[in-house]
Amino acid sequence: MRLPILVIGLALALWSMSSCSSVEVFIEKKEVSIFKPYQRFALVNKELGIQGFSDQDLDIKVQNELIKMLTSTGMQYDAVNPEVLIKYYSNEDIRQREQVVPLSPYPYWGMRMYDPWLFNPMMRNYSSTVRTSNYELLQVILDIIDPKADKYVMMITAVTEVSQPKNKPKLTIQALHKATTSFVIANSPN
């Protein structure tokens, strides 16, 4: 009796944690199918010295994390004879969000039938309040290229919103994990 309740509770906990993910992943440009799993890879950014992010420290962190994640799945970094080339870059777009906050018809004292001071035009303008907040739309893009065919294996875009600059490294790594996981799943043997 206790085991089914425990299993249901664990399933609900996992479901609630997975539904809170703020990263959307899109797979585009599949020009070449994966017939056999790729074993060797190289990063174009590392070999050519291309910076994929505007912040150099974040770029180095992403590069190291990407190599660590791919080597942990059994792939090997080989800059001389790679089976697949991976190029990463970002699209960092600062945007504004408008938030309309309507005036509560029941302010401080709770629900009342009639209050002569609530909608008194001499006291205050009781229209909705509009606030704006800045956020950054961050896209982590992985181009995965087959060098022999000179075509895209796939292009993976992971999109997230960064509302505070201190959360940017954490959300960038989270988006990179989601994008890399999509490639690892596609690259794994059936």
Global pTM reads 0.74
Torsion (CA) 77, 79, 85, 86 in degrees, nearest 10? 60
**DSSP codes joined into one string, 85-114:** EEEEEEEEEEEEEEEEEPPPSS-TT---S-
* Share above pLDDT 70 across residues of the chain, in percent, rounded to a whole number: 74
Lowest-pLDDT choice from 16-20, 34-38, 50-54, 67-71: 16-20
- pLDDT, average across residues 167-173: 92
Model confidence over 53-86: pLDDT tens digits? 989 999 999 999 999 999 999 899 999 999 999 9
Question: What letter represents residue 86's amino acid?
Answer: I
Neighbours of 77 (CB within 10 A): 13
How far is the C-alpha of 153 from the C-alpha of 27, rounded, in Å? 10
Between these two residues, 20 and 183, which has the higher pLDDT value? 183
* Tokens matching residue 20: 């809170």
pLDDT at 125: 55
Model confidence over 102-157: pLDDT tens digits? 665 555 555 555 555 655 556 555 556 778 889 999 999 999 999 998 889 999 99
pLDDT at 19: 45
Alpha helices, DSSP H only, in the chain?
Answer: 2-19, 44-48, 56-72, 168-187
Provide the CATH topology of domain 23-93+136-187: Double Stranded RNA Binding Domain (3.30.160)
CA-closest candidate to residue 175, choices 20, 15, 24? 24
Q: Answer yes or no: is pLDDT of 10 > 90.
A: no
pLDDT at 168: 92
pLDDT at 127: 59
